[in-house]
Amino acid sequence: MYENFEPAGSAIGYRVTRKLDEVQSPFQKIEIYESTDWGNLMLIDGAMMLTTRDNFLYHEMMSHPALFTHAAPKRVVIIGGGDCGTLREVLRHPGVEQAVQCDIDEQVTRMSEKYFPELCESNGDPRAQLLFDDGIAYMANCAPGSVDIVIVDSTDPVGPAEGLFNKAFYESCFRALAGDGILVQQSESPLVLLDLIKEMRGEMRKAGFTAFQTLPFPQPCYPTGWWSCTLARKADGFEFREADARGKAFATKYYSADIHRGAATLPPFVAGALDL
């Protein structure tokens, strides 16, 4: 099973044994495959979303750097993230009092519950709230200053997720976030999509954010195998709670205080392309 990435002129494939499921939701086509080496695979509209084996890289990096950068994150909103893997990581932080996950497509969560149950093991946490609704409207309607961290865990900026990559959406996030709030968004491949990262940071800046940090990490199932998240803050600076990260009471497979620090220093060619 191969997925061709038109913008990158490259492809990634997996040896699959069978198709386990397929559902056409009102928003997109979701397919589940069983593979020989990577566990189950979820594809949305033909694009690889996650594998059992390597999703920990993405989910840990979408959550822990932001949560260990904020001084005391209590109220977290996840836009997208229907597979619930990011939610699970967020809820590992004992200080989090409320985590709202707002994905437009309930079928993504239903498929994840069935084929990636380990990602959904915190869905019953009393702090978790699962909404199946339009994330753009949700952020627009949030009470000002009511959120500590917004995590945009979406598909690529085409189709349903297109509206999550522009100034209007970032303005909603800016307004919803408290003064020390952090927005973090998956920001595609730092090897081939540097223009997108630069544009994203530009739109975030126009929306009022003043400080930005792009963290690369490996992610085999996404184009080029190298991915990134981008953090934006209203306030300046990205010093993280390194002592807390070192002393955390939960286990991680990829994230660590050292990995966090290492990811924060971009390779020269990435920094150069972003005019840093």
Near a second copy by CB under 8 A: residue from 36, 143, 179, 247: 36
* Choice among 125, 153, 195, 275 that is catalytic: 153
**Region 141-200 residues binding a second copy, contact defined as CB under 8 A:** 191-192
| Whole-angstrom distance, CA of residue 258 vs CA of residue 208 | 30
Residue 91: C-alpha distances to residues 26, 126, 148 (Å): 29, 10, 14
Residue 143: DSSP 8-state: P
Nearer of residues 79 and 215 to a second copy, judged by Cβ? 215
Tokens of 29: 């086509």
32 contact partners, CB below 8 Å, separation of at least 6: 19, 20, 21, 22, 40, 41, 42, 43, 111, 114, 115
- Smallest separation (angstroms) from a second copy to the CB of 41: 11
| Whole-angstrom distance, CA of residue 27 vs CA of residue 158 | 12
Annotated ligand binding at 155? The verdict is yes
Note if 153 is an active site residue: yes
| Whole-angstrom distance, CA of residue 202 vs CA of residue 212 | 10
Could you say whether residue 250 binds a second copy (CB under 8 A)?
A: no
- Smallest separation (angstroms) from a second copy to the CB of 220: 4
Could you say whether residue 85 binds a second copy (CB under 8 A)?
A: no
- Smallest separation (angstroms) from a second copy to the CB of 1: 9
- Smallest separation (angstroms) from a second copy to the CB of 226: 4
125 contact partners, CB below 8 Å, separation of at least 6: 91, 99
Nearer of residues 96 and 266 to a second copy, judged by Cβ? 266
Near a second copy by CB under 8 A: residue from 18, 179, 236, 253: 253
Nearer of residues 32 and 183 to a second copy, judged by Cβ? 32
Phi-psi region of 33 (alpha: psi -120 to 50; beta: other; left: phi over 0): beta
Could you say whether residue 10 binds a second copy (CB under 8 A)?
A: yes
Binding segment toward a second copy, per CB under 8 A, in 72-80, 82-90, 236-244, 250-258: 250-258
Nearer of residues 9 and 179 to a second copy, judged by Cβ? 9
Q: Which helix (H) or strand (E) holds 175?
A: helix 167-176
Could you say whether residue 52 binds a second copy (CB under 8 A)?
A: no
Q: Which helix (H) or strand (E) holds 221?
A: none
Active-site amino acid positions: 153
Would you list which residues are annotated within the binding site for spermidine? 59, 83, 153-156
